[in-house]
Structure 1
Amino acid sequence: MDDVHGVPGQDDPLLAIVDCANVMGSRPDGWWKDRKGAAERLRDRLASDGLPGRTDPAEIVLVVEGAARGVESVPGVRVESAPGSGDDWIVELVAGSADRDRLVVTADRELRRRVGALGADVAGPRTALG
């Protein structure tokens, strides 16, 4: 979308990409017993509460992989099932949205480095969990 100055992406909300596996893995609450159910709970929390501590509008994308594939999108959260590595898919999403502000929520150091090199901001799992 162009703003009045003709700069692409100026009016687009923040694109917040959440590394589901990494965020779930940051809390030892038994998520590994039901990965899909844990991903659905995270999705629902994000749909209900947004990103804790942030008041700016955001398009939230939850990237799932492995046993969590098949989780459906809901209003407020788009779910992307990575065709392979979740990290690689997140990098592709960041690279494909260079015309807007992007935030990747993960604690994975290598992923943080990769998306940072593409100009995305990064934040830890607490950004999604509160």
Structure 2
Amino acid sequence: MDTEEPAPLPLLVVDGANVVGSVPDGWWRDRRGAAERLRDRLAAHGGPAEGPYPGPYEIVLVVEGRARGVASVPGVRVAEATGSGDDLIAALADGARGRPCLVITSDRELRRRVEETGARCAGPRSLPGATGRSR
């Protein structure tokens, strides 16, 4: 009997502030509400339909500042940055060494940082439902 453990799911880390900020829909009036809507869309749609790793994913939504206080839901763990959201995202990518990791952000400096850890990056539009687009 084979007792080999299944491979861990690829890690999908979402830069909440960057993804929410990619659509000018009034998110700045209610940052926490905008982060909750993003969380709910991620829970409903999952990760990118196309990308470097096949889903499903373990999804982590990183929030910071006035978006803090968003609860995790089944399928999406919310991680609150007590300082810089970028620093937390880079740490999550670094901690995923040896495991496929995809970071969703359009922040060039953050992309550089996480790609140095071996993680891959995609822009906010790669998420189905996250920017108002459907699959």
Fold shared, TM-score > 0.5 on shorter chain: yes
Out of 23, 28, 40, the residue aligned to residue 27 of structure 1 is 23
Aligned to 1:44: 40
Counterpart-to-counterpart distance in 1, 2:125 and 2:55:
17
Out of 10, 13, 17, the residue aligned to residue 17 of structure 1 is 13
Distance apart, 1:37 and its partner CA: 0.1
User: Structure 1 counterpart of 2:91, which letter?
Assistant: E
Counterpart-to-counterpart distance in 1, 2:48 and 2:105:
15
Aligned to 1:122: 121
**SS of residue matched to 2:55:** coil
Distance apart, 1:113 and its partner CA: 0.2
User: Structure 1 counterpart of 2:62, which letter?
Assistant: V
User: Structure 1 counterpart of 2:89, which letter?
Assistant: I
User: Structure 1 counterpart of 2:87, which letter?
Assistant: D
* Segments of 4+ moved more than 6 angstroms: none
**SS of residue matched to 2:8:** coil
Aligned to 2:110: 111
The count of residues paired between Structure 1 and Structure 2 equals 124
Aligned to 1:98: 97
Distance apart, 1:127 and its partner CA: 1.8
After TM superposition, the score normalised by the length of structure 1 is 0.90
* Cα RMSD after superposing both structures: 1.7
**Residue deviations 1:46-74, cap 9 Å, x none?**
00111241462100100000000110000
Aligned to 1:66: 65
Counterpart-to-counterpart distance in 2, 1:82 and 1:48:
24
After TM superposition, the score normalised by the length of structure 2 is 0.86
Q: Which runs of 5+ in 1 are unaligned?
A: none
Counterpart-to-counterpart distance in 1, 2:89 and 2:24:
23
8 Å Cα contact 2:10-2:56 kept in structure 1:
yes
Distance apart, 1:99 and its partner CA: 2.3
Counterpart-to-counterpart distance in 1, 2:37 and 2:55:
23
